[in-house]
Amino acid sequence: MFAAENGLRGDPRLQGISKAIRVVPDFPIPGIMFQDITTLLLDHKAFKDTVDIFVDRYRDMGISVVAGIEARGFVFGPSIALAIGAKFVPLRKPNKLPGEVISEAYVLEYGTDRLEMHVGAIEPGERALVIDDLVATGGTLSAAVRLLERMGAEVVECACVVGLPEGQRRLDGKPLYILVEPRLSVNY
């Protein structure tokens, strides 16, 4: 569901967030309109508004874990976790975490990969939010959900700054909250 469909229709913060995201054509491969959130991070107001909207949504949901997907989920996840009183758990690419890990493979829109998490980072029964910057096909979010559920977490929702609603198809009914739709026009 888009934020505009959930009480934020007409909220000027959403327009500011959307405008702050740079669109880069044909990156990383031809045909992809890359939604570059690094320009959002340069805009203090848009960045703060992004975090504030997520915090307002999740503050009273009893979430004890915010799991951020490498790398851009690490940008938003820790701030959200601190504000709602939850711990932050990084979901990393292969061979980035020391110690014992559990992993989950997935298919990307242009390749394959794996997510890893420390064994013991999640306790059975914890309520989790999965955060990333973007959802396209839902493959990465789906792998994150499977990984957390294998450790006994209850995944409450997945959240992304920008995304396509089609990304929810691979989430097996898990709710997906998206702030803004991808823009197709280039801005530099």
pLDDT, tens digit, for every residue of 173-185?
899 999 999 998 7
Alpha-carbon torsion angle 93, 94, 96, 97, nearest 10: 100
Q: What is the pLDDT of residue 77?
A: 98
How many domains does the chain divide into? 1
Residue 185 lies in a domain: no
| Residue 102 counted as domain residue | yes
Confidence of residue 48 (pLDDT cuts 50, 70, 90): very high
Q: Which residues have CB under 8 Å from 108's CB, separation 6+? A: 137, 139, 140
Q: What rounded mean pLDDT belongs to the chain?
A: 94
pLDDT at 109: 63
The residue from 13, 57, 72, 92 that is catalytic is: 72
Catalytic annotation, pick one of 5, 9, 59, 109: 109
Q: Taking residues 153-161, what's their average pLDDT? A: 98
What's CA 172's distance to the chain center, in Å?
17
108 inside domain: yes
Residue 129 belongs to some domain of the structure = yes
Q: Which amino acid type is present at position 20?
A: A
Residue 187 lies in a domain: no
Residue 186 lies in a domain: no
**Domain membership of residue 12 as a residue range:** 2-180
Q: How far apart are alpha carbons 174 and 58 in whole angstroms?
A: 15
Per-residue pLDDT, averaged over 22-40, amounts to: 93
Summarised one tens digit per residue, pLDDT across range 92-118 is 999 999 999 999 999 876 678 999 999
- Evaluated on CA atoms 43, 15, 141, 34, the torsion sign reads negative
Reply yes or no on whether 57 is catalytic.
no
- Tell me if 101 is assigned to some domain: yes
Binned at pLDDT 50, 70 and 90, residue 153 comes out as very high
pLDDT at 31 over 70: yes
Order of strands across the sheet with 65-69? 87-91, 65-69, 127-135, 154-163, 176-180
Helices (H), 25-184: 38-41, 44-58, 73-84, 139-150
Q: For a pLDDT cut of 70, what percent of the chain falls above it?
A: 98
Tell me which range, 28-32, 68-72, 168-172, is most confidently predicted by mean pLDDT. Answer: 68-72
Residue found by looking up tokens 């997945």 in the block: 158
Q: What is the CATH number of the domain that holds 50?
A: 3.40.50.2020
Cis peptide leading into residue 28 (ω within 30°): yes
Does 36 map to a domain? yes
CA distance 36 to 20: 9
Contact 37, 183 (CB under 8 A): no
Q: Reply yes or no on whether 59 is catalytic.
A: no
Q: Where are the alpha helices (DSSP H) in 59-111?
A: 73-84
